Chain A
Amino acid sequence: MRGRPLLYTSYESDQSMLNTTTKKVVLGAFLAFLVLLPFTGGAASSGDRLFDFSIPFVGFLSSNDYLQLLATVCVFAIGALGLNLLTGVAGQVSLGHSFFMGVGAYTAVWLGAPEGPLLGMGLPIWIWLPAAGIVPAVIGLIVGPTAVRVRGLYLAIVTLGLVFIGEYVFRNWRSLTGGSQAGRSFQELDIRLWKEEVPLIEISQDGPWLSTNGKAFLMMLVVLAIFTVLAKNLQRSRAGRAFQAIRDRDVAAEVMGVNEFRYKLLAFGISSFYAGIAGALLTAFLGRTIPERWDLILAVQFIAIILIGGAGTVSGTLMGAAFVIMLPRVVQNFTEWLKGAIDEGGFISVIADPIVATSANDTGIINTLPGVGPGLSVLQANQVLYGLLIIGFLIFEPLGLYGIWLRIRNYWKGWPFTY
C-alpha cells in the first residue's frame, strides 16, 4: 500500500505501534540521537568520551549535568507511564503515586543496599529492581479493593490519605529509611551477577568512553524503552480496551461484560508496579533518599506530567515528563540570562527588569536573591508555573502537549487546505 497513507487493509497494520513510515524514520533518528548523545563531547574533561565533536545546536545536552537531567526525565517517564495507565487510560484518579514509588524505593534499598547498621542485603540489581516493582504491585492489590469500591473524587482523597500514611511509616521505620530528614544513601546501579567485587558492568565510575552520568542515562533509556513498549502494548490489548471502557462509562462497561472489579484492580497493580520501578531507579540514580521525598508534591508532579503531556496517550506522557522535569532548568537558565541582560543594559533589560529582581529594593516577579525583598524564588516560580500550566492546559488544551502536536500535524497534513 505504498503511497496510500492512512489506508489500512488489516487490523494489525492499523493497530501497529508505528503505523507510518514517517513515524518509523523519525523515531529511529531520535533514538539514534539519544543513544549517541552521551558518547559525544561536551564534558569538562574530554577523556571520558568516545568522540570529541559535539552535535550541532543540541550538543550542550551531552554535558554531565544535562545527562543527569535527561536520566531523571527517563525515570519520571517510567513512573508517569504507570500513572497514565491508571488515570489516563482506566480513568481512576490517583494522588497516591508517590506512596507506591516510596514503597518501591525502600524495597530496593532493603534488598540492594550493602549490609550495615541499617537494613540491607547487598543483592544485585536483577533481584532488587524486579522486586521493587512486585512489592508495590502487591500492596496496590491489597489496598485496591477499598479503592475499587469508591469512585471519582472519593478515590482521589483515599489515595491522598495513602501518601500521608506512607510518609508516616517511612519517617518512623528508622532501621530501613534512616529516619526523618536524615535518610540514607543507596547508589547501586552497577550490574553484578552476585555479590562479587568487580561488577559485570560498572556504572558508578567514569569509563574510557562514557561518564557515569552517560552510562546511567543509557541504562534508564533502555529501561524506559522496555516499559514504553509494554505500556503501549497493554493499551491495545484486551485489558487496555477494558480499561478504556471503564474510563468512558463504568456501568456500560460492566453491562458489556467487562469485569469492573478485576480490571480496576489490575490497573492499580500495574500502575503500582511502574511506580515502584521508578522509585527504585530514582533512589539508586540520585544516590540518596529521605522519607519526605515521597510526599504529595511528588504525586502532584506526576499528575502534572500526564495532564500537561496529554492523559491517556503514551507519547504525550513521555513529552510531559520531559517538559515538567526540564522546566525548572529552563526557568533557571532564563532567569540567569535575564539577569545578565540587565547587567549589560540595552533594550532587553527594559523588559527583563519587571520580571527579575536583582537587588533588595528591586521589585520583580522572580527574585534572584531568595529571602531578600519580595518576589518569588526560582523554586517557587517553578511551582507557580506548574500550577498555572496545569490550569492552562486543562482549560485550553485538555489533550495537552499531545493535542498541540496533533493540531500542528493535522495542519501540515492538510496544507494548503484547512481540513
Chain B
Amino acid sequence: MTDLILIFAQATTRESHLAAAISEGLSLGAIYALLAMGFVIIFKATQVLNFAHGALAALGAFLVASFATLINFPGRFLPETIPHWLRWSLSALCALIAAALVGMLLERIFIRPMVGEELFAVAIVTLGIDIALRNITNDFIGTDPRPLGDPWGTKILDLGWVTFAHTEVAQILVSIVLVSAVALFFRSRTGIAMRATAFDQEAARAQGINVGRIFSISWAIGAVLAAVAGIFVSVFPRRSAGVDTATAFFAFKALPAIILGGLDSVVGAVVGGFGIGLAEAFVGEYVSFSFLGSGFAGIVPYLVMLLVLIVKPYGLFGTEEIRRV
C-alpha cells in the first residue's frame, strides 16, 4: 500500500516518468497478453498447462531470424524491387507457419498419447518438452544472439509527452489485432467446437466433433501466439541484439498473468497480461529503495500473483472448480 501511495505521489510530480512507465507497461503487457493467450487457448481446448510455451516462443523467434536473415526465404526468390518490410513480413509469415507445424507435431507425438491422464502428468510432459526443445533451440542459436533483421529497427515515435519505439507500437497493434481475432475465433464454428471440447471431450466426440483436430488447431494457434511474442521479446528495445539463450525464460513471467486472470479465461489473459506488465513497469520506474537491490521489478509479477491467489484462488476471471466426491 505504501508503495502505491509512493507511486502516485511521484507520478503527479514527474510527468515524464509516468509516460515512460505507461509506454513500457503497455508494451510489456502486450507481450504478456500474447503469451498468456497462447497458454489459455491450449489450456481451454486440451486441459494442458503448456510449460513448453517459452521454448516455443524462443523457437519461433529463432525461426524468424533464420528465415529472414540466414537463409533469406522467400526473399531470395523475389525481385529486388520488393521493399524490405514486405520481404521481412513474408519471411516472418513462413516462420509462423513453421512454428505452427512444430506445435501441431509436438501435440501429435507427445500430448495425444496422454489424453485421459491426470492434468498434472500432462503438464509435466510439457515440462519435459520444454527442457528438450529449449536445449535444442539454444544449440541452434549458439552463444551469440541472432538478430531478427526486423524493419522497425531502433526508430522512435515521439508524441511530445510520451515516446514509443516503433516496435512497441507494432506490438501493441498486433496484440490488439490478435486478441480480437481470437475473440472472433471463439465465435466461429471451429471455435465453438473448441469450447465444447474444453467442456467435455467425450461429449464433444459424441456430437461429431473431431477432438484430435481441435487439439492440433489449438496447439498451432498457441505456437503462433508464442512465436509472435517471441519476436517482440527479441527486438529493440527489449533485447535489440536478437534471440538468445535466455529468451525462453521470458515466458515464465506470463504465468503470473494467466494465474491473475484465471487459467481458462481469454479476457482474463488479456487483463492479467496488461495488469502484470503495467505493475512491473511502474515498479521498475518508481520504486527504487536501496535495500531492494537490483531486479526487483522482475519479481513483481510473482508477488502480485501470490497476493491475488490469497484472495481469489482461481484468479480474477477463472471458473471455480466444482469438486465432487
Question: Taking the complex as formed, is B259 at the interface, i.e. its CB lies under 8 A from any CB of chain A?
Answer: yes
Cβ A390 vs Cβ B127 within 8 A: yes
Q: Tell me which residues across on chain B come within 8 A of A369, comparing CB atoms.
A: none
Cβ A93 vs Cβ B305 within 8 A: no
Question: Taking the complex as formed, is B113 at the interface, i.e. its CB lies under 8 A from any CB of chain A?
Answer: yes
Give bound CA distance, A168 to B259, whole Å: 21
Q: Tell me which residues across on chain B come within 8 A of A171, comparing CB atoms.
A: 293-295
Question: Taking the complex as formed, is B184 at the interface, i.e. its CB lies under 8 A from any CB of chain A?
Answer: no
> Which of B132, B136, B306, B325 is in CB contact (< 8 Å) with A255?
B325
Give bound CA distance, A384 to B136, whole Å: 7
Question: Taking the complex as formed, is B49 at the interface, i.e. its CB lies under 8 A from any CB of chain A?
Answer: yes
Give bound CA distance, A394 to B128, whole Å: 10
Question: Taking the complex as formed, is A149 at the interface, i.e. its CB lies under 8 A from any CB of chain B?
Answer: yes
Cβ A161 vs Cβ B256 within 8 A: yes
Q: Tell me which residues across on chain A come within 8 A of B113, comparing CB atoms.
A: 395
How does the 8 Å CB contact mask read for A53-96 relative to B, with 1 for contact and 0 for none?
A: 00000000000000000000000000000000000000101000
Question: Taking the complex as formed, is A48 at the interface, i.e. its CB lies under 8 A from any CB of chain B?
Answer: no
Q: How many A-B pairs fall under 8 Å by CB?
A: 138
How does the 8 Å CB contact mask read for B298-310 relative to A, with 1 for contact and 0 for none?
A: 1101110110011
* A384 touching B135 in the complex, CB below 8 Å, given contacts A149-B310, A249-B325: yes
Question: Taking the complex as formed, is A219 at the interface, i.e. its CB lies under 8 A from any CB of chain B?
Answer: no
Cβ B132 vs Cβ A395 within 8 A: no
How does the 8 Å CB contact mask read for B129-153 relative to A, with 1 for contact and 0 for none?
A: 1111111101110110000000000
Q: Tell me which residues across on chain B come within 8 A of A389, comparing CB atoms.
A: 128
Interface hit among B15-23, B115-123, B211-219: B115-123
> Which of B132, B296, B314 is in CB contact (< 8 Å) with A387?
B132
B interface, over-half SS: helix
> Which of A156, A251, A307 is in CB contact (< 8 Å) with B323?
A251
Interface hit among A6-14, A19-27, A196-204, A370-378: A370-378
Give bound CA distance, A371 to B121, whole Å: 35
* A156 touching B123 in the complex, CB below 8 Å, given contacts A146-B309, A296-B252, A386-B131: yes
Cβ A394 vs Cβ B125 within 8 A: yes
> Which of B125, B258, B321 is in CB contact (< 8 Å) with A390?
B125
Question: Taking the complex as formed, is B110 at the interface, i.e. its CB lies under 8 A from any CB of chain A?
Answer: yes
**Which has the most chain B C-beta neighbours within 10 Å: A158, A303, A390, A394?**
A394
Q: Tell me which residues across on chain A come within 8 A of B293, comparing CB atoms.
A: 168, 171-173
Within 8 A of B (CB), among A195-252: 249-252
Cβ A376 vs Cβ B136 within 8 A: yes
Question: Taking the complex as formed, is B40 at the interface, i.e. its CB lies under 8 A from any CB of chain A?
Answer: no
Q: Tell me which residues across on chain A come within 8 A of B132, comparing CB atoms.
A: 383-384, 386-388, 391
Question: Taking the complex as formed, is A152 at the interface, i.e. its CB lies under 8 A from any CB of chain B?
Answer: yes
How does the 8 Å CB contact mask read for A314-328 relative to B, with 1 for contact and 0 for none?
A: 000000000000000
Give bound CA distance, A82 to B230, whole Å: 36
* A377 touching B139 in the complex, CB below 8 Å, given contacts A172-B292, A255-B325: yes
Q: Tell me which residues across on chain A come within 8 A of B252, comparing CB atoms.
A: 160, 164, 296
Give bound CA distance, A371 to B119, whole Å: 38
> Which of B131, B140, B294, B296 is in CB contact (< 8 Å) with A300?
B131
Question: Taking the complex as formed, is A1 at the interface, i.e. its CB lies under 8 A from any CB of chain B?
Answer: no
Question: Taking the complex as formed, is B263 at the interface, i.e. its CB lies under 8 A from any CB of chain A?
Answer: yes
Q: Tell me which residues across on chain A come within 8 A of B321, comparing CB atoms.
A: 151
Cβ B305 vs Cβ A157 within 8 A: yes
Q: Tell me which residues across on chain A come within 8 A of B135, comparing CB atoms.
A: 376, 380, 383-384, 387
How does the 8 Å CB contact mask read for A140-182 relative to B, with 1 for contact and 0 for none?
A: 0000001001111110111011101100100111000000000
* A160 touching B131 in the complex, CB below 8 Å, given contacts A252-B325, A380-B139, A395-B125: no
Q: Tell me which residues across on chain B come within 8 A of A255, comparing CB atoms.
A: 325
Q: Tell me which residues across on chain A come within 8 A of B134, comparing CB atoms.
A: 383
Question: Taking the complex as formed, is A398 at the interface, i.e. its CB lies under 8 A from any CB of chain B?
Answer: yes
How many residues on B have C-beta within 8 angstroms of the other chain's C-beta atoms? 52
> Which of A152, A158, A376, A387 is in CB contact (< 8 Å) with B128?
A387
> Which of B49, B136, B138 is in CB contact (< 8 Å) with A156?
B49
What's the minimum C-beta distance from B264 to chain A, rounded to whole angstroms? 11
By beta carbon, the residue of chain B nearest A382 is B135
Cβ A391 vs Cβ B310 within 8 A: no
Cβ B49 vs Cβ A153 within 8 A: yes
Cβ B120 vs Cβ A158 within 8 A: no
> Which of A383, A384, A395 is in CB contact (< 8 Å) with B110?
A395
Give bound CA distance, A164 to B256, whole Å: 12
Cβ A394 vs Cβ B124 within 8 A: yes
Cβ B295 vs Cβ A395 within 8 A: no
Give bound CA distance, A149 to B310, whole Å: 8
Question: Taking the complex as formed, is B114 at the interface, i.e. its CB lies under 8 A from any CB of chain A?
Answer: yes
What's the minimum C-beta distance from B29 to chain A, rounded to whole angstroms? 18
Question: Taking the complex as formed, is B255 at the interface, i.e. its CB lies under 8 A from any CB of chain A?
Answer: yes
Question: Taking the complex as formed, is B189 at the interface, i.e. its CB lies under 8 A from any CB of chain A?
Answer: no
Q: Tell me which residues across on chain B come within 8 A of A307, comparing CB atoms.
A: 124
Give bound CA distance, A86 to B214, whole Å: 35
> Which of A153, A161, A371 is in CB contact (< 8 Å) with B143?
A371
Q: Tell me which residues across on chain A come within 8 A of B294, comparing CB atoms.
A: 171-172
How does the 8 Å CB contact mask read for A96-119 relative to B, with 1 for contact and 0 for none?
A: 000000000000000000000000
Cβ A391 vs Cβ B295 within 8 A: no
Cβ A376 vs Cβ B139 within 8 A: yes
* A160 touching B303 in the complex, CB below 8 Å, given contacts A149-B310, A371-B143: no
Give bound CA distance, A395 to B124, whole Å: 11
Give bound CA distance, A94 to B258, whole Å: 18
Give bound CA distance, A395 to B295, whole Å: 39
> Which of A158, A251, A375, A391 is in CB contact (< 8 Å) with B309?
A158
* A164 touching B299 in the complex, CB below 8 Å, given contacts A154-B263, A374-B139, A376-B136: yes
> Which of B117, B136, B303, B325 is in CB contact (< 8 Å) with A165?
B303
By beta carbon, the residue of chain B nearest A249 is B325
Cβ A146 vs Cβ B142 within 8 A: no
Cβ A154 vs Cβ B259 within 8 A: yes
What's the minimum C-beta distance from A54 to chain B, rounded to whole angstroms? 37
> Which of A164, A173, A374, A376 is in CB contact (< 8 Å) with B302?
A164
Q: Tell me which residues across on chain B come within 8 A of A398, comparing CB atoms.
A: 117, 121
By beta carbon, the residue of chain B nearest A95 is B127
Give bound CA distance, A154 to B113, whole Å: 24
Cβ B120 vs Cβ A153 within 8 A: yes
Question: 3 smallest A-B Cβ distances: which pairs?
Answer: A172-B293, A387-B132, A387-B131
6 additional contacts, CB 8 Å, given A375-B139, A376-B135, A380-B138? A152-B119, A157-B258, A251-B324, A383-B135, A387-B127, A391-B128
Q: List 21 A-B contacts (CB under 8 A).
A: A146-B306, A149-B309, A150-B309, A151-B321, A154-B259, A156-B120, A164-B299, A165-B299, A172-B294, A376-B135, A376-B136, A383-B132, A383-B135, A384-B136, A387-B127, A388-B128, A391-B110, A391-B125, A394-B114, A394-B121, A395-B125
